[in-house]
Structure 1
Amino acid sequence: MTAPTATGRRAAAEPDPAGPPAARERGMRGPGSGRIALLTSGLVAALVAVALVSAATGAYAIPLGDVVDSVLHRARLGGEPLDRVGESVLWDARLPRVVLAVLVGAALGCAGALMQGVFGNPLAEPGVIGISSGAAVGAVAAIAFGLDFLGDWTITVFAFVAGLGTVLLVYVLSRSEGRTEVVTLILTGIAVNAFAGALIGLCVFFADNAQISGITFWQLGSLAQATWPKVLAVLPCAAVGLLVAPWFARRLDLLALGERPARHLGVDVERLRVVLILVTALLTASAVAMAGIITFVGLLVPHLLRMVAGPGHRFLLPGSALGGALVLVSADLVARTAAQPAELPLGVLTALIGSPFFFWLLRRTRRRQGGWA
């Protein structure tokens, strides 16, 4: 019998820094179910409260109790209707805007969580691979050339088709020898973002003054034109994406262990990336089409929830949808009321809040890694 070598003794004595597979799996699940339930309940309660406050607040103030009574009355659960002006303000202006903010925020938050899971990078968001700018090209083209043959669906359809085409283009250009490397995908997305910016510039060049004003305001991000038909136009795309995304939570958890371990555990990594990028395109295109370019929601919300609740996607995906909705409803409330009677662009407001957070995140990551080498 041969004596064990020094290397063998060290290997036997030193535990795996990552821990045994069961420990790693527990780490991916994050905190206990009680804490997750409490956090989910808090997000839902905060979203309902902010939505009601947003519906009650504005140039025409409506008491919060009257808002609840009117909603209960419409739902045939009791309550009393408001006067004619109050009902019109609440149901024709305020509530469509609140519901649209919920849908757009949920779509952006969930899309950001998907992108961070697909790339294994907490700094990723849909704009990284050109989805946002590609969808913006389609929407801007529809505005610049006065296209409306699909009614309220026109901008949504153009944004989705352009966003999906951009994703497919980035994917094909970054694919080599049957595989797609994340770094190549991101670098290709940067180039496509620049090209999409040039196409948007061309659309602005050919547009008239009225269309240029509309495009400029749209690019800054806003929910000012919210109506029930527009809510119904964005609802199918957002609902499909939000319902499909949680089905991939377990495979995203396995992918977080690394591509090779995920393949050994039965995950088709290539197919998973393609499907999730398509779902992200669906969510992002529906949000961009109706609200314009709103940045940092898809970056900030999933990252904060990951810091609080851990990396498990079973909570992170629906939690990011709830958090994104809460952030956007709150931001829209501030945008409407901070500079009355004027209205701040929603995309500008989220960028003002998100940029300092992004800088802090970069410095924190660099400090933890000891530099960027």
Structure 2
Amino acid sequence: MSHFAENTYWIAVAHLPGWKVERINRFIIRVTHENQMSWSDFFALEKKVWKEVFAFSDKELGDLENVRNELPKLAFIAEQLTNEGFIMIPLNAQEYPQVLKENLKTRHAPPVVYIKGRKGMLQEDAVAIVGSRKAGQAALDFTSKVAVKCATESKVVVSGFAKGVDKQALESTLEAGGKSIIVLPQGILTFQSGFKKYYEAIAGGDVLVLSTFFPKAGWDVGLAMARNIIIYGLAKEIYVAESETRGGTWEGAMAGLKRGRNIYTRLPKPQEKNANLKLLEFGAIAVDDNGNATAPPRPLPARLFESSDAVGVSEDQGRFESGENVRHVEEEILRLLEKGAYSSREILLALNLDMDGRKISRFLKNHPGVKTTGDKPLRYTRNDQTTLF
């Protein structure tokens, strides 16, 4: 299959209407990895074969049929991307950023990334500096200092290209001779004014522009929120300059903390009104105005239950019915799943646990290292290391 035709199929698959990212990724894994099929072979199959082999729902079959009919239109977009020098990197390509797979897993890793610039930048260590659009001067000064520090350490700064902290991070990085990735809240073909402004930096290898959305999608608040996930996913280090108690910065930081990531958060001045202290209470690492940690990382709170809900197993097995046992229970469950696929009831029986199976199900569904098998009853297992992830 030609590279041009392959890109057409990937555009179709990556943006299936109404499909969540995880569903698309599992579909990709099923077709390209488990069945070793090309997209041209897949779309050449009859609808009844799709249903028999892949057990798609009626809605999914309809979506795939509609996309198949749209392939000629999508071919024009694939051609435009190629002619204008954009690069498409699908999930199964060697150039796909490994850091995205590691941080976002099957649930959130984008099926395709569209870029313009030096693609090798995606393999370099990156730092995200995030914060409010209406950040105060203290947050902007902090952003500039961390950006300059990253530039001197040859680390890439990831920016969301929004007002406030994002723009400050980008401009300070470039002024210091550093490198930056701009993550767009829109399709990459709609960023023409930005390409003109940063043409020299892109051509010189200092700026990479990246989007994960349909190439012709305009700016949208929903895309802006989804873009924040990619910013956090690309970064090995995350610095919060200023956060409110809601919005993209807050949600991204909280999601990172739940996944056990280190979130470096600026210690605010006494007169400041923001949510930085709240993030520190939830386990973020306090840093000074220069981005240096003021204390070692604090242990995260238990994730599976509140302490009042946690119930362990019998005392004669060396474990007690208290919140102190939560971590141990989680680790035992995850170790069990390395051996195979188990339903929540089977987990309870195998580990002799006296607790609500629904809590175990919620924990496993939200765990990035766990996948479901699709059997009935629903079974859980660890992500197979031989898959794309």
TM-score normalized by the length of structure 2: 0.20
TM-score by length of 1: 0.21
Higher strand proportion, which one? 2
Greater relative contact order (CA < 8 Å, ≥ 6 in sequence): 1
Structure with greater proportional helix content: 1
